[in-house]
Amino acid sequence: MNGDLDGDFLTGEYDFSSLKVAYEFQEEVFLLTGGQAKEKNVFSDFKNTAWVVFSEGCPLRKANKSWLQDDGISFDNTIEVCILDTMLSCVQAGIDNTLLTESVVNQEDKQIQSYQVPEQFTFVTSRLVTRKSPFLSKAFTAFASCFAEADKHKKI
């Protein structure tokens, strides 16, 4: 962060030595498929499943790859995107599946089905971070406080 942003959300493990963690929280991870998928078919046909993923370094991509490799399935059939809306659109269209956290999915979206993942991939740690600076903007401080309060009440 070079001063262009007051803060950012980071999921996974990074070098935080130059950042201040304002808030840390656990997020549940789900397998997302197009709304037309049937649960019994979703888990039985991973060999023929396409996956939409973020770039290398994304902890959810790493979890997705580990899960498949643990089951002896290659992770070659992927589409890499860099925008969340593109990822969700691919899933909605039934083009591919993905792993994402619950907070980014509209639970009322009937075009997306969510399923629990194996226990070792169920949670990721996310953090609201800012640069280490003696001066934090009032807007960021207020946002971090509101976010922390909302998270405690699970209204986000």
Token pair listed for 96: 């591919």
Domains of the chain: 8-152 (3.40.190.290)
pLDDT in tens, 49-91: 899 999 999 999 999 999 999 988 889 999 999 999 999 999 9
Average pLDDT over residues 39-48: 69
Residue 66 and residue 121 in contact, taking contact as beta carbons nearer than 8 Å: yes
How does 11-28 read in b/e, with b if 16+ C-beta sit within 10 Å?
beeeeeeebeebbebebe
What average pLDDT does the chain have?
Answer: 88
Is the pLDDT confidence value at 107 over 90?
A: no
Q: What is the pLDDT of residue 48?
A: 82
**Phi, psi values for residue 58, rounded to 5°:** -70, 125
Q: What is the mean pLDDT of residues 97-109?
A: 87
Looking at residue 156, its pLDDT comes to 44
Residue bearing tokens 């509209």: 106
| DSSP string covering the chain | --SS-S-EEEES----TTEEEEEEEEEEEEEEEETT--HHHHHH-GGG--EEE--TT-HHHHHHHHHHHHTT-----EEE-S-HHHHHHHHHTTS-BEEEEGGGS-TT-TTEEEEE--GGGSEEEEEEEEE--S---HHHHHHHHHHHHHHHTT--
Which distant-in-sequence residues (6+ apart) come within 8 Å of 21 by Cβ?
127, 128, 129
Please check the confidence at residue 106 and state whether its pLDDT lies above 90: no
pTM flag (> 0.85)? no
Cβ(127)–Cβ(23) under 8 Å?
A: yes
d(CA 26, CA 124): 6
What digits encode the pLDDT tens for the residues 7-23?
999 998 888 898 999 99
